[in-house]
Amino acid sequence: MKLLIVDDAKLIHFLVKKILTANGFEDIEYADAFDGNQAISMAKEFKPDLILLDVVMPEKDGLEALKVIKEDNSTMNVIMVSSLGTEEKVSEAIKLGANAFIQKPFDEEELSNHVRNVI
Tens digits of residue pLDDT in 37-62: 999 999 999 999 999 999 988 889 99
Report d(CA 116, CA 57) in Å as an integer: 25
Cα distance between residue 108 and residue 116, in whole Å: 12
Q: Is the pLDDT of residue 68 over 80?
A: yes
How far is the C-alpha of 9 from the C-alpha of 114, rounded, in Å?
21
pLDDT at 105: 86
pLDDT at 112: 94
The percentage of the chain sitting over the pLDDT mark of 70, rounded to a whole number, equals: 98
Report yes or no: 50 and 78 within 8 Å, Cβ to Cβ: yes
pLDDT computed for residue 41 by the predictor: 97
Residues 54, 81 contacting (CB under 8 angstroms): yes
Question: Is pLDDT at 71 greater than 90 in this prediction?
Answer: yes
Confidence of residue 85 (pLDDT cuts 50, 70, 90): low
Cis, bond preceding 58 (omega within 30 deg of 0): no
